């Protein structure tokens, strides 16, 4: 039985760990808020008291955290992942972070004697449930081949991009357009409503048109019925956009869509939608266009 360590059991991490348990892997997981892992414990996961304990004895260790600072925090220290890695372990980070943060994690892992892969993902809770998550992998090709069977229990597409920095950059390139698509979709619904079309009908028509994308197929309906637990928050989208813009500045590349999307996300967060599902920018746009204060319950 292959033992897998998992650090970071948020919405996406929890769904991935659930698939691994279903596939018969022994999973020992750590989450900063232990109560959020209760459902996984019921399925057989061992709840580790620290990130180090989650990594100890595991052949493969995954992490999926919110940003570069969180990645550095779960890696370092006496209770961090690196302190628990075996020399033959492979550490796979699934987080969406900047190239520099990913490279720093690689260097730290290799200093500990372990191998490191950056494998940011494209998809959602829905695609994880269907086993269709996509991985953009950076790092040693041999290490990727060793963990490929584990990754295939989670997703169906695995592309070796190159270095860990290139994998991180590719993920930000993917996420760059998400906010812009959601904003344009939301504005389309608002425009239709102003001409007397019901929001639900506008959503259906847009999702049946040529503008629909796989991402909008599951996120578009959230404009009407958001999930109880957000899949991807406004704050996280804003964080990813900021990293992408910083990357672009370094290579003198203007990102026009990001320049439009960034102030909308900032305004949405200022209105109190930061921890809500990204589709809530539609509600923020309605508030801004109507000139009235937001509903405290959104």
- At 52-75, the pLDDT tens digits run 999 999 999 999 999 999 999 999
| 8 and 132 co-located in one domain | yes
Number of domains forming the structure of the chain:
2
Domain extent for 154: 3-162
**Residue 203, in any domain of the structure:** yes
Instruction: Confirm if 236 and 164 have CB atoms less than 8 A apart.
Output: no
**Residue 30, in any domain of the structure:** yes
- Residue 46's closest CA among 70, 21, 63? 21
- At 77-93, the pLDDT tens digits run 999 999 999 888 999 99
**Residue 33, in any domain of the structure:** yes
**Residue 298, in any domain of the structure:** no
**Residue 297, in any domain of the structure:** no
Residue 92 sits in a domain whose CATH number is 3.40.50.720
Last residue of some domain: 129, 162, 195? Answer: 162
- At 158-213, the pLDDT tens digits run 999 999 999 999 999 999 999 999 999 999 999 999 999 999 999 999 999 999 99
**Residue 295, in any domain of the structure:** no
Q: Which residues contact 229 (CB under 8 A, 6 or more apart)?
A: 11
3 state SS of 61: strand
| 12 and 140 co-located in one domain | yes
| 254 and 182 co-located in one domain | yes
Residue 293, Cβ density class (10 Å: 0-12 exposed, 13-18 middle, ≥19 buried): exposed
Q: Compute CA 224 distance to the chain's CA centroid, rounded to the nearest angstrom.
A: 22
**Residue 115, in any domain of the structure:** yes
CB atoms within 10 A of CB 146: 15
3 state SS of 273: helix
3 state SS of 276: coil
């Amino acid at each position: 039985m292959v033992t897998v360590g998992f650090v970071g059991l948020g919405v996406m991490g929890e769904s991935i760990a659930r698939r691994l348990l279903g596939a018969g892997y022994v999973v020992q997981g750590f989450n900063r808020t232990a109560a959020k892992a209760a459902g996984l414990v019921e399925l057989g996961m061992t709840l580790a008291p620290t990130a180090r304990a989650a990594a100890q004895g595991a052949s493969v260790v995954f992490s999926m955290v919110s940003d570069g600072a969180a990645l550095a925090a779960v890696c370092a220290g006496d209770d961090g992942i690196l302190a628990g890695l075996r020399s033959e372990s492979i550490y796979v980070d699934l987080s969406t972070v900047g190239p520099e943060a990913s490279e720093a994690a690689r260097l730290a892992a290799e200093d500990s004697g372990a191998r490191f892969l950056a494998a940011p993902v494209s998809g959602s809770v829905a695609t994880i449930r269907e086993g269709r998550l996509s991985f953009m992998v950076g790092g040693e090709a041999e290490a990727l081949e060793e963990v490929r069977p584990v990754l295939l229990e989670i997703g169906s597409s695995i592309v070796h991009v190159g270095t860990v920095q290139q994998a991180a950059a590719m993920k930000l390139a993917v996420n760059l357009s998400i906010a812009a698509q959601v904003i344009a979709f939301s504005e389309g619904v608002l425009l239709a409503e102003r001409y007397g079309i019901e929001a639900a009908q506008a959503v259906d028509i847009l999702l049946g048109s040529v503008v629909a994308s796989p991402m909008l197929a599951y996120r578009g309906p959230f404009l009407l019925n958001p999930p109880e637990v957000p899949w991807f928050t406004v704050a996280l989208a804003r964080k990813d956009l900021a990293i992408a813009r910083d990357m672009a500045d370094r290579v003198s590349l203007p990102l026009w869509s990001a320049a439009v999307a960034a102030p909308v996300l900032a305004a949405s967060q200022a209105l109190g939608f930061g921890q809500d599902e990204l589709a809530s920018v539609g509600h923020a746009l309605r508030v801004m266009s109507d000139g009235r204060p937001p509903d405290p319950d959104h």
